[in-house]
Amino acid sequence: MDTQNETRVNLVKALQALQKTRQKLTALEAAQHEPIAVIGMACRFPGADSPEAFWELLCQGVDTVQAVPTERWNMADYYDPMPGTPGKSYVREAAFLTKIDEFDPQFFGIAPREATSMDPQHRLLLETSWEALERAGQAPTALRNSKTGVFVGVTPSEYILRLDEAQRTDTYVTTGNSVIFAAGRLSYVLGLQGPNLVIDTACSASLIGIHLACESLRRGSSDLALAGGVHLMLSPHGHVAMSQMQALAPDGRSKAFDAAANGFGRGEGCGIVVLKRLSDAVADRDPILALIRGSAMNHDGPSSGLTVPSATAQATLIRRALENGQVDASEVQYIEAHGTGTALGDPIEVRALAAVFGERATPLLIGAVKTNIGHLEEAAGIASLIKVILAMQHQEIPPHLHLHHPNPHIDWATTNVRIPTDRTPWPAGKKVAGVSSFGLSGSNAHVVIEEAPVRTEVTTEKDRPCHLLTLSAKDTQALRELAQRYHKFLQQQPESALGDLCYTSHAGRNHFAQRLSLTATSLAQLQANLAIYATGQSSPDIMQGSAPEHQAPAKVAFLFTGQGSQYSGMGRELYETQPTFRATLDRCDVVLRESLGRSLIELLYPTTAPTHDELLTSHVWGQVATFALECALADLWRAWGVQPAVVLGHSLGDFAAAYTAGVFTLEDGLRLVTTRGRLMETAVGRMVAVMASAAEVVPWLAGYADVTVAVINGPKSVVIAGGQTSVTQVTDQLQ
C-alpha cells in the first residue's frame, strides 16, 4: 500500500473512531436526562388509605386535623396555651392515621415477638412498599437479587420512648427502632440488592429520596427504585419541641400564604412510588402514571439563620431542576409549594417562584397539600408528589384550603401567581408541574413532573374468547377479602380492561398458598363469578385450592422444533388478536420483503385461496416461516409473563432458541436462517460472525442446540453446545 492510500485508510479509521466516540457521548448525555417513569404508588395519609381515597379527600377540600387521640398520649398532661412554657405544647390538634397498631408480621416472615419491638413506621413502610409494587404490576418475588434501590425518608423513632426499661433490653429493639433498619429490612424482606439509603433531612427527606433514586436509575446502579417516606407521631416530645421553637400554628393547621399564617400544623403518613427508566417502562409495558423530568437538591447556605430559608437558594434549586429535566420555565403550569404556613417562609418561597417564573403570559398556579393533612415532615415531599400525579391524571387541581386573606407580606400585585381555592381544571396544554420541599436545616429539593405519555400500542381486532383471573392469599379469610376487593374495584371501575386485569393478577403478583381462579368472557361475568364465590356457592367457572406455602416457582423450558410443521394459515387467529405476536411477524415481514422480495404475511395468511403452498414447503421459505412463527410464539408467551429458565432447539429450532436467549436480534436471526436455507454449509460460520459482531448483546438464558456453534459467557451463560442434547441436561438446568 502506498503512503497516500495508507494515509487515507488511517483517516477513515480515525473518523470512524471519532464517530463512535460521538455516538457514545450522545448516548451518555441522553441517559443523564432520560425521564423517569412513575409506574406505581401507594399511600397511607390522614383520612385516606389509598391514592383513590386521597384524591377524593383532596377534591372535597377535607381538613383532616383532629384532637390528639388518647391512644397516642394524654394531651392534657402536656398542654399549656402559653407559648414557651417548659415541657408543654400550646397545640392540641394534628392530622393522624388510624389503626397503626394493626400489622401482620408473618406475612413478611417476621416473628410476632420481633414485630412487637418494631417501630410502626417500619411496619408501615413494609406494607405501603408492597402495595406500591403490586400497583406497579411488579411481583415482589420476581425482584429477588435484582438491582432495585430503596431511598426513603424516615423520622427518628419515637416508639422506643413508649417502651419501658425492661422492653428496651429486648434483642429486637435496636433493629426495630434505628432508622437504618427501616430501609434495610425492606430490602432484606424483598431480597433486593440495589442501593439502600435512609435520608433524614427532616421536611425535605422524601423528596431528596426521589432525587437520589432518579440519579441512581440514570447512572445504572438501580434498574428499579422504591422511594418515599414515612412519619408518625408516637409521643408528645415532637409537639413539645416544636412548640418551644414556636414553629407550630396554635390551631394545628397550616394556613399557607394567608395573612393568618402563624406556623405549621403537624401530620403523619407514608407514601411510596415505584420508579423506572422511561425506556425500560415502555419496553416492559408497565403502567406509567407520570414522568419525573428533572430534579435537584441544594442547601440554603449563608441565610440569615440556621433554620431560615433563602429565596436565592430556592430559585437556584428550581432552575437546576428545570435544567436537569430540559424543561423551560414557561412550560410549568403548577407548583406544589412547600407551603408550611409560616410568616417568614411563605413570602420567601413566593419571591423565589417569582424570580424563576415571573415573566410568563399566564399566572402560575400554586397550592399546598399541608392545608389538608398537615406537615408530614419526613413524608411531606412524597405527599406533595402523589397529589400532583393524581391531579394530572384527573386533569384538575384540587382546592387549597384556609386562604381567606392573602398574606400582605407577599407582593401579589406584581407577582404573577394564583392560588386556586376551588376545584380548577388543569390549564390546557402539556401538563408540567414542580414540587418543592425545604428542610428545616437548609437541605432543599425540587422535582419537575410531567403527565404520562399517551400510549400508542396497537389495539387488538378482537379479544381472546375467555380470560383467567388468579387470586391468592396466605389464608382462606384473606383470600375471601381479596376477592371482595376485586368485586368492589370492578364496581368502581366498570371500564377496566379484562385482559390487563387478569394478566396483572397472574404476572404482577406473588402467589400464596390459598388460591382461587375464575374464568370469564366479560367483566360482567367476572363480577357475577366473584359474587357467587362470596356467597360460598360453586360454579364450573370457579376453582379453589391450595399449594405448599414455600413451594419454589416452577421453571419452564421452551423447546423449538425444526422445519416441517408450517402450513398456510398457521397462527392466523393469534396474528389477528394478539399485538405481540403480530408485531414480531410484522418485523420479520419487513426484513423478508427486502431480502427475498415477498411478503411473509401474504404467504402465511392469504386473503384469497392459497396459491403459494409450494413456497411454504420450499427450503428457504419453510425455514424462515418456521423461525418467524416460533419467535412470535416465544415473544407472546413472555409477554404473558411466562419466562423460560432454559431454551432448547432442534435443527432449525436452534436459531429461534438463540434469539429467545438474547444471542442475536430478530433481524440478524432471519438473515442467518435465510442463509441457512440457501446454503446450509455456511450457516455455522455466519452464525459465529453475527454473534461476534453483536458483542454488546448480553444473553440471559441457558440454551442448548444440536449443532456446535459457540459458547458465550455472560451473567447467565448461553451455551450452544455440540452433540444431541439430552433431557437430563435440560432437567439439570431447571433444578
User: Choosing from 239, 375, 402, 446, which is the catalytic residue?
Assistant: 375
| Residue located via cell numbers 403480530 | 582
CB atoms within 10 A of CB 99: 8
Residues contacting residue 604 through CB under 8 Å, at least 6 positions apart: 568, 569, 570, 571, 572, 575, 585, 616, 625, 629
Query: 228 near 128, Cβ under 8 Å?
Result: yes
Quick one: which H or E segment has residue 241? helix 237-244
> For residues 699 and 230, what is the distance between their CA atoms, to the nearest angstrom?
40
Distances (CA, A) of 556 to 6, 574, 634, 660, 734: 55, 22, 12, 13, 7
Q: What does DSSP assign to residue 701?
A: S
> For residues 552 and 191, what is the distance between their CA atoms, to the nearest angstrom?
15
262: its cell numbers: 402563624
For residue 228, what are the β-bridge partners?
Answer: 152, 272
C-alpha triplet 701, 507, 581: angle, nearest 5°: 70
Annotated catalytic, 588? Answer: no
| Residue located via cell numbers 417568614 | 344
Alpha helices, H only, 470-550: 476-492, 498-507, 523-534
- 416-420: which pairs have CB atoms within 8 A and are 24 or more residues apart? 416/354, 416/357, 416/358, 416/360, 416/363, 416/364, 417/350, 417/353, 417/354, 417/357, 417/363, 417/364, 417/365, 417/366, 418/363, 418/364, 418/365, 418/366, 419/257, 419/365, 419/366, 419/367, 420/365, 420/367
Query: 110 near 190, Cβ under 8 Å?
Result: no
SS (HEC) of 284-323: CCCCCCEEEEEEEEEECCCCCCCCCCCHHHHHHHHHHHHH
Of the candidates 507, 613, 651, 631, the one whose C-alpha atom is nearest the C-alpha of residue 574 is 631
> For residues 373 and 371, what is the distance between their CA atoms, to the nearest angstrom?
6
Annotated catalytic, 338? Answer: yes
What spatial distance separates the first Cα and last Cα of the chain, rounded to whole Å?
Answer: 58
Backbone φ and ψ of 40, nearest 5°:
-170, 155
> For residues 615 and 603, what is the distance between their CA atoms, to the nearest angstrom?
8
User: Choosing from 568, 595, 651, 717, which is the catalytic residue?
Assistant: 651
Give the three-state DSSP class for 4.
Answer: helix
603: its cell numbers: 404467504
User: Choosing from 122, 211, 239, 338, which is the catalytic residue?
Assistant: 338
Annotated catalytic, 612? Answer: no
What's the distance, CA 620 to chain centroid? 44
For residue 471, what are the β-bridge partners?
Answer: 516
Query: 359 near 334, Cβ under 8 Å?
Result: no
Query: 572 near 605, Cβ under 8 Å?
Result: yes
Question: What is the DSSP annotation of 79-120?
Answer: B-SSTT-TT-BS--EEB--S-TT---GGGGT--HHHHHTS-H
> For residues 687 and 669, what is the distance between their CA atoms, to the nearest angstrom?
8
Annotated catalytic, 651? Answer: yes
User: Choosing from 43, 203, 588, 631, which is the catalytic residue?
Assistant: 203
User: Which residues are part of the catalytic machinery?
Assistant: 203, 338, 375, 651
